[in-house]
């Protein structure tokens, strides 16, 4: 595959199994993430890497935040939440640390964090590592952000699940461009 063909074949995967990306692979993903467009070089992105036993800790943080929002949560639901991070051998929590800046409104910082996260996912794809970007209620939980030690102005951008892709890959559907692109 040419690099362009690889780029165009990116697809999310929700069945991700061991092995987790290696330390070297994570470093490459992070270099890609840190190459995102970034107005005024604010570098607003932060990444926390969970793998092995720290995935269990992440599950406990998920449970604490969920119980904070709903103390009456049923036991089976709590268990499901606890196991969420175990759906892949690695989860990277991407966040954005927003600052007040004369020239860079916060929406630009959020866009930059999105671009950074996509760079990370794309670098994973280039190394044949499967990924899926997830959010859900927990991504917006201040309690979870506190549990994870995020700063006051920092928010979760997404939970990036990473690992080897299980099962056969469905072909990437071709999107009809005319619905989205206008030549002027
Ligand atoms: C900000 C953001 C949040 C997302 N949150 C979820 C999520 O919580 N659960 C989910 O199944 N997909 C979520 N997605 C979508 C998947 O990551 C994925 O893009 C989608 O399933 C389409 O698959 P594709 O990437 O192969 O086109 C999210 C995507 C973005 C950009």
DSSP string for 96-164: EE----SS--HHHHHHHHHHHHHHHHHHHHHTT-EEEEE-SGGGG-HHHHHHTT--TTEEEEEEEEEEE
If you classify domain 16-166 with CATH, what class do you get?
Answer: alpha beta
| Ligand 1 neighbour 136 (Cβ under 6 A) | yes
Considering only CA atoms, which residue is closest to atom 22 of ligand 1?
Answer: 12
| Ligand 1 neighbour 12 (Cβ under 6 A) | yes
DSSP 177: G
| Ligand 1 neighbour 169 (Cβ under 6 A) | no
Domain boundaries along the sequence of the chain: 16-166
Gap between the terminal Cα atoms of the chain: 32
Considering only CA atoms, which residue is closest to atom 20 of ligand 1?
Answer: 12
- Taking the C-alpha atoms of residue 66 and residue 1, their distance in angstroms, rounded to an integer, is 43
Q: pLDDT tens for residues 11-59?
A: 999 999 999 999 999 999 999 999 999 999 999 999 999 999 999 999 9
Q: Which residues pair with 130 in a beta bridge?
A: 163
Question: Residue 168 has what pLDDT?
Answer: 80
Looking at the chain, the whole-number percentage of residues with pLDDT higher than 90 is 95
Considering only CA atoms, which residue is closest to atom 9 of ligand 1?
Answer: 134
Q: Which residues pair with 16 in a beta bridge?
A: 165
pLDDT band at 90; cut points 50, 70, 90: very high
Considering only CA atoms, which residue is closest to atom 29 of ligand 1?
Answer: 133
pLDDT band at 113; cut points 50, 70, 90: very high
Cα(184) to centroid of ligand 1, in Å?
Answer: 31
Q: Whole-model pTM? A: 0.97
Cα(132) to centroid of ligand 1, in Å?
Answer: 7
């Amino acid at each position: 595959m040419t690099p362009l063909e690889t780029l165009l074949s990116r697809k999310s995967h929700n069945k991700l199994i061991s092995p987790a990306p290696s330390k070297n692979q994570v470093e490459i993903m992070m270099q890609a993430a840190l190459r995102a467009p970034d107005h005024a070089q604010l570098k607003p992105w932060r990444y926390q890497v969970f793998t092995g036993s720290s995935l269990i800790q992440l599950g406990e943080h998920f449970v604490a935040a969920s119980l904070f929002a709903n103390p009456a949560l049923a036991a089976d639901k709590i268990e499901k939440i606890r196991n969420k991070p175990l759906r892949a051998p690695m989860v990277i929590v991407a966040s954005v640390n927003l600052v007040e800046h004369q020239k860079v409104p916060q929406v630009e910082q959020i866009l930059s964090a999105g671009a950074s996260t996509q760079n990370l996912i794309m670098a994973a794809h280039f190394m044949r590592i499967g990924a899926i970007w997830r959010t859900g209620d927990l991504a917006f939980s201040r309690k979870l952000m506190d549990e994870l030690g995020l700063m006051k102005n920092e928010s979760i951008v997404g939970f990036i699940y990473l690992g080897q892709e299980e099962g056969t890959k469905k072909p990437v559907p071709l999107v009809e461009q005319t619905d989205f692109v206008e030549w002027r």
